[in-house]
Amino acid sequence: MPELVFFSGTMDCGKSTLALQIGHNRSARGLQGVIFTRDDRAGQGKLSSRLGLVTAAVEAAPGMDLYAYLVARMSQGGKVDYVIVDEAQFLAPEQIDQLARVVDDLGLDVFAFGITTDFRTKLFPGSQRLIELADRIETLQVEAMCWCGARATHNARTVGGEMVVEGEQVVVGDVNRPAEEIGYEVLCRRHHRRRMTSTSAHAGALSPDVLPVNQA
């Protein structure tokens, strides 16, 4: 049976790499797929991984009807055996509904990849809808690591190396941006709560792990 599968994880845990691998495995067996993406770090119409792999993709622009796009492509003789969607957290909830319809009405597997929460620990609307509709949710097993060595569970936005918790939900950036630019960093929950990025932790005069002591 075809499925809508949501592969989730923090930034830097290999989501795009797995998306590329799934596409490669299926194309090697003669299957043809459509890859959608939104706001990839490599630019419009591209699916890229931090390992340096890049492939062409269809930019899923705001307001685009993904179901209608696939129906039109198939009606014109195009072969579509499966669908891959990267950066799925950026899609609108109605576009996630369209992906579910692709599975149910067109009988195609849809593999969606994305992070669940933003830099404020709030669910992306697209990810929330995927959690509500997906046949399966798979958490990627490649664990990203916080600067302290613990498992990273939260995404942080940084400006000049300092964590920020206000601003637009979607600002395209990367974990490898220079410290003075808007960038992102993955943190464990403890250091996300304390807003301790790698830059601020190494620059701080006091350890964030020192417990407060009341003076008598």
Distance CA 11, CA 29 (A): 30
Q: Containing H/E element for 36?
A: strand 33-37
Give the pairing type, strands 82-85 and 33-37: parallel
189-211: b or e for each residue (b if 16 or more CB lie within 10 Å)? eebbeeebbbbbbeeeeeeeeee
Amino acid letter, residue 168: E
Distance CA 209, CA 26 (A): 48
- Structural contact between residues 5 and 101, judged by C-beta atoms closer than 8 angstroms: no
- Structural contact between residues 91 and 117, judged by C-beta atoms closer than 8 angstroms: no
Per the annotation, the verdict on 168 as an active-site residue is no
Q: Tally the residues of the chain.
A: 216
Task: Please tell me which residue in 3, 59, 87, 143 is annotated as part of the active site.
Answer: 87
Which residues are marked as active site? 87
